[in-house]
Amino acid sequence: MTEKLNREDIKSLLPEELDAALRAMGEPAFRAKQVFRWLNVPAASFDEMTNLPKALREKLAERFYLTAPAVERKQVSALDGTVKYLWRLNDGNHVESVVMRYEHGNTVCVSSEVGCPMGCAFCASTIGGKVRNLAASEILDQVLWAQKDSELKISNIVLMGIGEPLDNFDNVVRFLKLVNDPGGMNIGMRHISLSTCGIVEKIDKLASLALQLTLSVSLHAPDNETRSKIMPVNRAWDVDTLLAACRRYFERTGRRISFEYAMIRDVNDTPFHAKLLADKLEGTGSHVNLIPLNDVPESGLRPSTPETMRAFIGTLEKRNINVTVRRKLGPDIEASCGQLRREREELR
């Protein structure tokens, strides 16, 4: 472990950084591409990189370490083929990822942190708080190893697993560049969605990068009283401050925001909430994705009834707001929004 502290995380290096490091070691120009390819295979050790000279493999192993998550547990939904992974990271921490099989392509939902600091009342990922950021390599590994293990070609990514991506801004942006690189997974920004609970200063920072990914914002209530009760982040940046940042984001990137709204019985699903939400979003061209609340026993919260949901949708549609209801995948393996956990109790 002490030795490892002196070594560098090779998979978190951007292609140009890898190139500079290898040239500084006296390697020829083509080496970086070769190594980058192996990192994305993904190779679990430098020894597997068989087209590199043995001496170089040894030098690399002295200077760098290679992240490689182990499958602690894998569950496959009998209902829709959704696959959930619990990974054990190099340092023994755990995170989860989910592979969903949509008609438009296989999508992996990845975690960005070990645990989550945001404290939303309805979400299992935040129970126990945040342990640490994930490295860019550890976010990328979830895509690489899920694809390899499941043998499902991944074409889309959602940063909607455990953690708040914008709380781990630098590593997440690094991950986006790595997974987007033509020499690696080559996944287009338009095939990537990033979801945030609403850290306004980081939404502006992301806007300044003008990436073409889809930004989803977890709104969950149109008024401060309700939102502050279920989402502590609202006490730092309230609803109108958040919506103003969303407008700036659209102006800067040309990409419309998608709003997530988990329907919680008697909390945020009344006619008052539907009308206020319509008032705030009317004319913005935004999209609202309603999520029937998924079961997180610790929260004590319950999903809205189907009738309440229908009435809520009716109010929004009457005001020409584009509404969809998120399909629940993997209900038999707790793979749905808000159900991912850092570690399962039975493993503690």
Pick one of 115, 184, 330, 338: the residue that binds ligand SAH (CB under 6 A). 338
From the list 4-12, 50-58, 195-203, 204-212, the region that binds ligand SAH by CB under 6 A is 195-203
- Given the complex with ligand SAH, which of 31 and 202 has the nearer CB atom? 202
**Span from 100-108, 117-125, 249-257, 309-317 in contact with ligand SAH (CB under 6 A):** 117-125
d(CA 55, CA 117): 44
Nearer to ligand SAH among residue 13 and residue 263 (C-beta) = 263
- Specify the residue, 16 or 204, whose C-beta has the smaller distance to ligand SAH: 204
Q: Output 39 or 197, the one with its CB closest to ligand SAH.
A: 197
d(CA 76, CA 334): 11
Stretch that binds ligand SAH, among 21-29, 149-157, 191-199, 202-210 (CB under 6 A): 191-199
Query: Among all chains, which residue has been given the structure tokens 């790595």?
Result: 178
4-33 residues near ligand SAH, rule: CB under 6 A: none
Between residue 208 and residue 247, which ones bind ligand SAH under the rule CB under 6 A?
218
By C-beta, is 49 or 211 nearer to ligand SAH?
211
Q: Does 294 bind ligand SAH (CB under 6 A)?
A: yes
Stretch that binds ligand SAH, among 29-37, 119-127, 245-253, 278-286 (CB under 6 A): 119-127
**Of these, 43, 136, 160, 239, which contacts ligand SAH (CB under 6 A)?**
160
Residues 163-182 that bind ligand SAH (CB under 6 A): 164
Residue nearest to ligand SAH (CB): 338
Encode the chain in three state secondary structure.
CHHHHHCEEHHHCCHHHHHHHHHHCCCCCCHHHHHHHHHCCCCCCHHHCCCCCHHHHHHHHHHEECCCCEEEEEEECCCCCCEEEEEECCCCCEEEEEEEEECCEEEEECCCEEECCCCCCCCHHHCCCEEEECCHHHHHHHHHHHHHHHCCCEEEEEECCCCCHHHHHHHHHHHHHHHHCCCCCCCCHHHEEEEECCCHHHHHHHHHHCCCCEEEEECCCCCHHHHHHHCHHHHCCCHHHHHHHHHHHHHHHCCCCEEEEEEECCCCCCHHHHHHHHHHHCCCCCEEEEEECCCCHHHCCCECCHHHHHHHHHHHHHCCCEEEECCCCCHHHCCCCCCCCCCCHHHC
* CA 139 centroid distance within chain: 9
Minimal distance, residue 82 CB to ligand SAH, in Å: 15
Nearest distance from C-beta of residue 27 to ligand SAH, angstroms: 39
Select from 291, 323, 333, 335 the one that contacts ligand SAH (CB under 6 A). 291
Residues with catalytic roles: 96, 337
Report the residue from 196, 214, 234, 258 that binds ligand SAH according to the rule CB under 6 A: 196
| 9: number of Cβ within 10 Å | 16
Stretch that binds ligand SAH, among 19-27, 43-51, 95-103, 288-296 (CB under 6 A): 288-296
For residue 252, CA distances in Å to 192, 204, 206, 245 come to: 18, 9, 10, 10
Closer Cβ to ligand SAH, 77 or 196, answer by number: 196
Nearer to ligand SAH by Cβ, of 56 and 274: the residue is: 274
Interface positions, 296-315, toward ligand SAH (CB under 6 A): 296
Place of tokens 């953690």: 163
Q: Is 262 one of the binding residues for ligand SAH (CB under 6 A)? A: yes
Q: Which residues bind ligand SAH (CB under 6 A)?
A: 118, 120, 122-123, 160, 164, 195-197, 218, 260, 262, 291, 293-294, 296, 337-338
